[in-house]
Amino acid sequence: MPEASTPAKRVPMRGAYLRLAPGEEPSLAGSRCPSCQQTFYPPRHICLNCYHEGLEGVALSKRGKLWTFTIARMSLPGSLMTAPYVIAQVELPEGVIIATVLTDIDPEATRIGMPLELVVEKASVNAEGAEVMTFKFRPAKD
Ligand SMILES: [Zn+2]
């Protein structure tokens, strides 16, 4: 058993590429091509733009804007989301489009172009006792 003072180990949920280093703000894990600077999410090994091999892992911007969205009016069986909720694609300053869901928002008030920020949160605890982390976006607070 871990000691009470030991922070729980955190692992990304399947399909979520997160940087979860202790003592570091969680962020999305992307990759950047050192040859042409194109950035990708999910991270890749080979650049789709120039075919350079060996991309560098980078922490992506935590803020972006809403590129497009749809409103889900029914929850899928077993889903952690309660309808209605917003399924979104968020554009980051690196030019990457992130498929995600929005939180802390009235679906009817959702607008393309609105500023959004990353939220990393615990979805569950796995059999090893590690916190399984996922991410969403919410309206950016200034
Ligand atoms: Zn490239």
Question: What does the pLDDT look like over 105-138, one tens digit per residue?
Answer: 999 999 999 999 999 999 999 999 999 999 999 9
Could you tell me which residues come within 8 angstroms of residue 122 by beta carbon, excluding any fewer than 6 positions away?
10, 131, 132, 133, 134
Q: Are 37 and 56 in contact (CB under 8 A)?
A: no
pLDDT in tens, 11-68: 999 999 999 988 889 999 999 999 999 999 999 999 999 999 999 999 999 999 999 9
Q: What gap in Å lies between CA 92 and CA 67, rounded to an integer? A: 9
Q: Return the residue matching tokens 């789709």.
A: 48
In the reported structure, the alpha carbon of residue 32 is separated from the centroid of ligand 1 by a whole-number distance in angstroms of: 8
In the reported structure, the alpha carbon of residue 37 is separated from the centroid of ligand 1 by a whole-number distance in angstroms of: 6
Closest by alpha carbon to 114, among 72, 62, 64?
64
pTM: 0.89
Q: Are 61 and 68 in contact (CB under 8 A)?
A: no
In the reported structure, the alpha carbon of residue 126 is separated from the centroid of ligand 1 by a whole-number distance in angstroms of: 37
